[in-house]
Each structure stands twice: as C-alpha cells, then as structure tokens.
Structure 1
Amino acid sequence: MISIKDIAKKAGVSISTVSYALNGNPKVTEETSARILKIAREMDYVPNAAARTLKSRSSKIIGVYLTDFSGAFYGEVLQGMKEVLNKRGYDLIVCSGSYSHRLLPQRMIDGAIVLDHSFASEELLQLAERGHKLVVLDRELNHPNVNQVHLDNKAGAALAVEYVIEKGHRKLYVVTGPQGSYDSKQRLQAAKQAIERNPDVVYVEIEGNFTKESGELAAKQIMKEYKEPVAVFCLNDEMAIGLYNTLVKADFRIGEQIHIIGFDNIELTQYTQPRLATIDYSKRKWGALASEQLIKLIMGVPVEHERIYVTLIEGGSVGEG
C-alpha cells in the first residue's frame, strides 16, 4: 500500500509537507500542493482511515448492530437513523456478527446503536466502561455511557390480548419470538398478565422466532388441533403473515374460523384480505430518536431514557368470537 512516505520520496519533500498538502493546509504553497496531489493520484494513494481517526479521535461514522437483516421490519428503522445522522454529518454502517464488535474498541466508529440480542450485555458494559457511547433498543443497561430507547412492548401486548378477549374469544394461541429477544420477553410477559386477568381464557403457547417460516409452522400445529374458532396473537407481523398465508392456502377463513393479530404494523399487513389487526408504532421515529440520543451522548449532552408508544390497528382478521 502506498504511504505518504512514498509520495514524499518521489516529490522530494518532507513527510510533513505531504501531510499538509493532502489535508489542504495553507502552510504549503499552491504550486507545491498541486504537484504533491498529482503524484498522489498517479501512485493511487488511498488515505489511511484508521490513522486519520486516531488523530482526530472521530470517524464521523455510527454503527448499528442488528441480529440479522431479514424481513420487512428493519428498513424504516434504518431510514429514520440515516436521516438524522446524515443531517448531523455522520454516516451509518450496519453490522452483524462478533467480528464487527471490534469496530468500537478500534475507534473505527464513534458510537453504536444496538438491536442485536446476540451482542452480550456484559461486552456492551465493558465497552461503555472504556468510554464508548451506546444506545440500546433491546435491553436494559444501567451506565452513564448507555442510553435506552425502548418500544412500549408491554402496553402493545396488553392491547392485543384485551382486543381479542373483548371480541369474545376464549381460546388464545400466542406465537412467541426468539428466547434471547428482549422485545419477545416483554410482549410475552404482558400477554400472560392480561390472560391471567381473564381466568376463563384457555392459553396455548407456540414457540416461534420472529420469522415467516416459524409462523407457517405454528399454523400447521393450529390446524392439526383445530376444533372450533380460536384467536392467535403473533408477537410480530412476520410470523403473523406466515401463519395467515398458510391458513388461507388450507381454506381456513381468517376472521371467522381463526382470528389473528400481530405486532409491528409492517407494510404488508395493509394488503391482506381481510386486513391484519396489529400493534402500530413509528419505526422511523424509533430509529431517528435512537440516533438523536447517541449524538447527544457523543457531544456530552445529558439524556434521559426514551420510550416509543404504540397503538392498536383493528382489522378484519379478528372477528367476533
């Protein structure tokens, strides 16, 4: 790789002169600067981003850590992050996997937003202890360098369960999310609490993992056990869509025989017939607020933990019981 030392040798100037020229410093005359830049282009010189970051102590890049990139959920969240960060002069990179965790201690990014249940909380606290700034969307961490921006998962799950119970349904399946997911745990806990307040409701739990495929598997179990109309609360819309499509293909009538409600209000739910009932919130606002909080942390501005509120979207997928 070509270094500024190589450029200096060819140009017959000092390394510091090359550095000044490459950074537009007025200490170098326009004629000398132009000659150095021409040589740099001819030699295909690429600046060392890591070295620049170490010198300035700022990369102007924010990392967002996701469990995976599948499904229709992440697009709006990332768009909300990008809009805020770009306005403030930051770029965004999306990361997944343990190797990318090194970007923080190597200071290749200025801070991170975490929506990745596989990123251990112990590791995040160690990073925070070393001064790295973090916003977490999927756990509770108590540290001055960590801010929390959570969905109101419990309120949303309670709304969903109360909705189907008010419709007269007395048997309720709940399709869960991944075991390590904070959102899934919060939603499941609230769903169980709402059911406990209605002791005449029969509750059946089916393990899922927030994917359409796990919704399809849940549908097969429900069809095998089907004797009379039942309601199903899927802890996210991806599973609800998988369940929905499988039941329709098997000629079950949604909203009459099987009643479904999801969580997230992804765009696809608007096009199902009948429309899927779901829990709504602004995913773009969630991402935007996370970015705003992280920039405040980086700038040393005091921040409070934030919450994104939810609402119920009624739909024909849940009829009268």
Structure 2
Amino acid sequence: MSREPSKSATIREIARRAGVSIASVSRALNGKPGLGDALRERILAISREIEYRPSAAARQLISGKGAVVGISLGRQEIELRPYYILLYQHLTLALHEQGMVPIFFAHDQTALLPERAGAAILLGEFPDDSRPAFLNARGVPFVRIGEPGEGFSVAPDDRHGLYLATRHLIEGGRRRIAFVGCELKLPHRQHRLKGYQGALAEAGLPERPISVPHVHDDALTGYRHLARLLSRLPEDASLPFDALVCETDELALGCLAALEDHGIAVPEQVAVTGFDDLPVLAADLTTVCQDIAVIATTGVTLLGEALAGKPPRHVSVAVALVVRQTG
C-alpha cells in the first residue's frame, strides 16, 4: 500500500536537502539550463523521494516562457522604497516555492514582458497606468498588488488600518489629528485617507489633511514639509495638531525627526503613527502592521486562478494596529 504524497513537501524542503538555492531547484524541476547533470539528478531524486507535487499554479507554468513570471514596477523610484524591496523579496520566494521563475521588469521594460514571461504581477500602480490594458491586449494573465479594480488583485485593508490608528488616537484624548500623505488630491492616493476621515466623522472632529509632494524618499519629504510648517508658526502660537496619522512609516519617521529638531516632545505633545510596520525602521513607532508575506503568497495563488481562467476577484488582507512609543 503506497503512502499518500506529503502535503507539506515544498520546493524549499528540496533545496534544504540538496544544499542548493531555491532557484537551482526551480531550474531542475523546470528543465532549465545552468545545472550540471549530477546536481540536476540529485535534486530530481529528492523531489521524488519526498513526493513533491507542484501546485495548480505551477502546473500552469511548467514549460517555456510560461514558467516565467514578470514582476513589473510601475514607477522607477518605487524600487528604492523599503516596502517594495520587502514585497519583491517575498514574491520571489513565493514564486520559487511553486516552481515558478520570477524576472524583474523595470518601468521602462513593460513592452518586453509579453515576449519573456507567461504571466505578470504588477506593483506600484499610478494614474493612467497602461499596464493592465497592455497585458490584456496580449493575453498575458496578471495580478495587481493594489486596490480593487480591473482583474485579479490583492492589497492590505488600508482603510481599516488608518481607521484603527485614528480611533486609537481619539480614544487617547487627541482632538487635533492631522493626516500626512502624498498627493492627497489624486483619487488613487485616498484609500488610506478615507479610513482617517471615517474615524474623525464618527467622533465629530474636523479633518486636518497635510498633503506632501510624491518623491522617491518619503522620510526626507515628510521631514522637509513638516519642518517648514513648524518654522512658519509664530513663537507664541499653539501647535495646529496634537497627533499625526502618517500614510507610511517613512513619512512618520521624517515627521518624528522634524518634531525632534523643533523641540516638540513625542508623544507628550504630538503623537505619531505610521503604516507598514517596516522591520528596524518601525522599531519604536506606533503603526499599522500589514503581513507582506501573506500578500505575496495570496498574489501567487491568484495568479494560478488567473492562469486557470477563473473569474477575477480581489482579496483584502487583514491588518493590525501595533502600539509602541510614539502614540
């Protein structure tokens, strides 16, 4: 009587036993060049031993360029942001674990994607983003890491996260709560703003939006903008806010530096919250934690559904407020 295949057998386990990288296992399983015959056979033998079975998504991507998934950036500067670096790392791992081969496509390489990849994951949406229409016209299945819209998509529950952060500040006695975000007049930038607005509306408090320019360095932008605002206040004037709800951890860190430089105590005079819970950067920051690993694995699952021709859907990943020293 044969035993059932192990459900926990993954490409990561094969790599561990063979003493090689996940990328090497992926090449062996997909018949790609770059490995010696002896190493390839050892990897395949281990896969048979543990009865590895690729997922439905991996079976859709088993040969030719179909084994390649293009990870596409919408703007060149987002590759500099820690959040996107982490997301890219988790996506790469999740794809490798399913036997897929990820390839990075910068903003100006989108036209090459259909020639080199059988599917795509789109990061960094922006106004008038032409990538979904471009890929649809060429029959390339894709998943967006972003808000509900065209096709398959996955994103953290941004609105609820900012609602939680704002409610926390209100319950702590803050009444002059400002929201710091990039280009807040643009519709695609308002999903987090709406969570803040909802919490204030429930409490009957006025909105205090602070819109900063969108550049590649949120921390520097946040610092410069808030420092200018504080410098323009009369010496005897009270602060126009007692809390700052920031759209990202990086904006929050810039604001914290500006407050410190102006001798404003945090959280005694001004509480500060962020969003993302970035490792190291958010060590002392009250922030909204999103599970980047879950977003990545969910994106890969949705990619399998897209390849299988299933109806498009959006998945909203739960978030949680993490209270630390700044609020």
TM-score, normalised relative to structure 1: 0.71
Q: What is aligned with 2:53?
A: none
1:227 aligns with 2:238: yes
CA contact (8 A) 2:105 2:113 kept: no
SS of aligned partner of 1:92: strand
Instruction: Quote how far apart the aligned CAs of 1:102 are.
Output: 1.0
1:159 aligns with 2:147: no
Q: What is aligned with 1:125?
A: 133
Choose which of 286, 295, 301 in structure 2 pairs with 1:292: 301
Correspondences of 1:185-196 after superposition (within 5 Å)? 185-196=190-201
Gap regions ≥5 residues in structure 1? 1-22, 25-55
Choose which of 42, 48, 67 in structure 2 pairs with 1:60: 67
CA deviation digits over 1:248-279, x for unaligned, max 9? 233321111221001111113443xxx21100
Q: What is aligned with 2:99?
A: 89
Instruction: Quote how far apart the aligned CAs of 1:84 are.
Output: 1.8
Q: What is aligned with 2:145?
A: 137
Q: What is aligned with 1:35?
A: none
Amino acid at match of 2:262: A
Instruction: Quote how far apart the aligned CAs of 1:231 are.
Output: 0.3
Task: Calculate the aligned-residue CA RMSD, in Å.
Answer: 2.7
Could you tell me how far apart the structure 1 residues matched to 2:184 and 2:109 are?
A: 23
CA deviation digits over 1:292-313, x for unaligned, max 9? 2113322445664211110001
Could you tell me how far apart the structure 2 residues matched to 1:199 and 1:221 are?
A: 29
SS of aligned partner of 1:104: helix
For the structure 1 residues 168 and 119, does the alpha-carbon distance in structure 2 shift closer, same or farther, using more than 3 Å as the test?
closer
SS of aligned partner of 1:254: coil
Could you tell me how far apart the structure 2 residues matched to 1:181 and 1:268 are?
A: 30
Choose which of 307, 312, 315 in structure 1 pairs with 2:316: 307
CA deviation digits over 1:73-105, x for unaligned, max 9? 1232122211221122222222232x3111233
Correspondences of 1:174-193 after superposition (within 5 Å)? 174-178=179-183, 184-193=189-198
For the structure 1 residues 155 and 90, does the alpha-carbon distance in structure 2 shift closer, same or farther, using more than 3 Å as the test?
same
Instruction: Quote how far apart the aligned CAs of 1:180 are.
Output: 8.8
1:278 aligns with 2:287: yes
CA contact (8 A) 1:195 1:203 kept: no
CA deviation digits over 1:54-77, x for unaligned, max 9? xx6534221112232112212321
Q: What is aligned with 2:266?
A: 254
SS of aligned partner of 1:100: helix
For the structure 1 residues 154 and 173, does the alpha-carbon distance in structure 2 shift closer, same or farther, using more than 3 Å as the test?
same
Seq. identity, %: 20
Greater displacement, 256-265 / 298-307 = 298-307
Amino acid at match of 2:189: S
Could you tell me how far apart the structure 1 residues matched to 2:314 and 2:195 are?
A: 21
Could you tell me how far apart the structure 2 residues matched to 1:204 and 1:300 are?
A: 42
SS of aligned partner of 1:176: strand
Amino acid at match of 1:214: T
Instruction: Quote how far apart the aligned CAs of 1:281 are.
Output: 1.4
TM-score, normalised relative to structure 2: 0.70
CA contact (8 A) 2:152 2:313 kept: yes
- Radius of gyration: which is bigger? 1
Could you tell me how far apart the structure 1 residues matched to 2:319 and 2:243 are?
A: 21
For the structure 1 residues 179 and 123, does the alpha-carbon distance in structure 2 shift closer, same or farther, using more than 3 Å as the test?
farther
